[in-house]
């Protein structure tokens, strides 16, 4: 039986001036170069403060032409209060990048609306944020010029915070090309005033990320019992879809899965798996088996992975491999899996060693 092994670790980007939060993503270009998208912002961590929401966040691209040994100077392609950069390269070369966005809210407006709308009050930094939804941008020239953004909205039953805004929502993973020619992505919309009350939907785009429609609801939690949020969807060779859900209110922080056999129109009820960690990302290796990677925020902290069967039917039975266990605190993880042309795979993530500078790193793994 084949198994997964780690070959080496890579440092993609580290600069003490910048905090690099969750989570990077990568694509391989036709010439073999690897492109990584990530986010960075001013680094307050040395002073004891860090946050995933920054009004000054920069989305960056860096490339490597030598298998990850060296990387280009990061190039900023958009900025704002944005988070995870979720990059996909389509068969025609189009790059699609999805992220979630927030806006700072004037305090008088917050005081007026706080009893009827959901806001996030960051008492450490003194600002109030409101979700401005999930946005899509696309590039037809390899990431030089970008178009958009367009927003993944409306989400059924999820009302905008302000008139004319997109539905408040978040996401975790990169969009995936589906067998019907559309792109698919799971996003979670916030319901009402309770920020952990969520509506997890599978959205699709028929036009390479320019417009989006809701296709089917993966999970619904209006009573905020579970807080379904950051979810990756993987399509098996059989066309079955498997959703890997982060469920915040599970006391054991287990993985939950849901499946669809009709391209995301209907889904099975989420069920817990005997896997601990979050969030998740999956991709198919050359053998047809599936590499599932996830953050591990329990001692020893780092990143872990499993090699699953092609239909992802025995997740708990798959052996777990430790990719990193040198994280000094839980502000790490959010891995992304990129199968490479040479048969290996790049698992990229944000990381810290001993609680130090948050940076972008990766591990090269292989199936043997």
| CB-based burial, 65-96: b 16+ in 10 Å, e otherwise | eebbeebeebeebbebbbbbbbbbbeeeebbb
- pLDDT at residue 51 in the model: 83
Mean pLDDT computed over every residue of the chain: 96
Residue 124 in this model has a pLDDT that exceeds 90: no
- pLDDT at residue 194 in the model: 86
Of the listed ranges 42-56, 100-114, 266-280, 326-340, the one predicted with least confidence: 42-56
Going by C-alpha positions, the residue among 205, 228, 203 that lies closest to residue 216 is 203
Residue 52 in this model has a pLDDT that exceeds 90: no
What's the rounded mean pLDDT across residues 263-267? 98
- pLDDT at residue 193 in the model: 85
- pLDDT at residue 49 in the model: 87
> pLDDT exceeding 90 applies to what percent of the chain?
94
157-185 per-position pLDDT tens digit: 999 999 999 999 999 999 999 999 999 99
CATH number of the domain within which 285 lies: 2.120.10.10
pLDDT band at 264 (very low <50, low <70, confident <90, very high): very high
Into how many domains does the chain fold? 1
- pLDDT at residue 329 in the model: 94
Of the listed ranges 115-119, 129-133, 343-347, the one predicted with least confidence: 115-119
Domain annotation covers residue 54: no
Query: Using an 8 Å Cβ cutoff, are 205 and 137 in contact?
Result: no
The helix/strand/coil state of 108 is: helix
Domain annotation covers residue 39: no
Residue 19 in this model has a pLDDT that exceeds 90: yes
What's the rounded mean pLDDT across residues 35-53? 92
Domain annotation covers residue 135: yes
pLDDT band at 69 (very low <50, low <70, confident <90, very high): very high
Domain annotation covers residue 38: no
Cα distance between residue 134 and residue 130, in whole Å: 12
- pLDDT at residue 192 in the model: 87
What's the rounded mean pLDDT across residues 17-39? 97
Domain annotation covers residue 205: yes
Tokens (6 digits) for 13: 């980007």
- pLDDT at residue 98 in the model: 98
Print the domain residue range for 305: 4-15+83-367
The helix/strand/coil state of 138 is: strand
Residue 83 in this model has a pLDDT that exceeds 90: yes
What's the rounded mean pLDDT across residues 79-85? 96
- pLDDT at residue 91 in the model: 97
Residue 1 in this model has a pLDDT that exceeds 80: no
193-231 per-position pLDDT tens digit: 888 999 999 999 999 999 999 999 999 999 999 999 999
pLDDT band at 48 (very low <50, low <70, confident <90, very high): confident
pLDDT band at 57 (very low <50, low <70, confident <90, very high): very high
Show the DSSP H helices in the chain as ranges. 107-113
Domain annotation covers residue 36: no
Domain annotation covers residue 37: no
What's the rounded mean pLDDT across residues 116-124? 90
Rg of the chain over all Cα atoms, to the nearest angstrom:
19
Phi, psi of 153 (to 5 degrees): -160, 150
CA–CA distances in Å: residue 149 to residues 38, 101, 360 = 17, 11, 25
Domain annotation covers residue 55: no
Tokens (6 digits) for 113: 């609306």
Query: Using an 8 Å Cβ cutoff, are 201 and 155 in contact?
Result: yes
């Amino acid at each position: 039986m084949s198994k997964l092994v780690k070959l080496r670790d890579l440092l993609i980007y580290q600069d003490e001036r910048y905090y690099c939060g969750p989570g990077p993503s990568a694509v391989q270009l036709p010439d073999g170069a690897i492109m990584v998208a990530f986010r960075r912002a001013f680094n307050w961590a040395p002073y004891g403060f860090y946050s995933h929401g920054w009004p000054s966040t920069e989305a960056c691209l860096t490339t490597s032409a030598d298998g990850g040994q060296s990387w280009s100077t990061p190039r900023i392609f958009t900025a704002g209060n944005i988070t995870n950069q979720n990059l996909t390269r389509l068969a025609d070369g189009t790059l699609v990048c999805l992220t979630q966005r927030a806006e700072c809210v004037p305090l008088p407006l917050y005081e007026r609306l706080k009893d009827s709308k959901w806001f996030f009050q960051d008492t450490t930094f003194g600002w109030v944020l409101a979700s401005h939804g999930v946005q899509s941008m696309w590039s037809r020239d390899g990431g030089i010029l970008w178009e958009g953004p367009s927003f993944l909205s409306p989400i059924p039953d999820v009302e905008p915070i302000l008139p004319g805004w997109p539905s408040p929502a978040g996401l975790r993973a990169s969009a995936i090309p589906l067998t019907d020619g559309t792109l698919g992505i799971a996003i979670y919309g916030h319901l009402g005033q309770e920020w952990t009350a969520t509506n997890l939907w599978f959205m699709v785009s028929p036009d390479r990320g320019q417009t989006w429609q809701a296709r089917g609801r993966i999970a619904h939690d209006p009573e905020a019992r579970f807080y379904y949020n950051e979810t990756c969807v993987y399509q098996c060779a059989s066309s079955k879809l498997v959703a890997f859900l982060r469920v915040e209110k599970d006391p054991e922080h287990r993985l939950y899965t849901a499946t669809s056999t009709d391209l995301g129109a209907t889904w099975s009820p989420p069920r817990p798996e005997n896997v601990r960690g979050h969030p998740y990302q999956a991709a198919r290796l050359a053998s047809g088996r599936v590499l599932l990677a996830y953050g591990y925020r329990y001692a020893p902290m780092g990143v872990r992975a499993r090699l699953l069967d092609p239909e992802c039917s025995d997740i708990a039975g798959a052996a777990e491999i430790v990719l990193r266990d040198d994280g000094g605190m839980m502000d790490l993880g959010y891995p992304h899996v990129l199968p490479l042309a040479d048969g290996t795979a790049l698992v990229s993530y944000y990381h810290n060693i001993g609680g130090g500078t948050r940076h972008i790193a990766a591990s090269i793994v292989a199936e043997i």
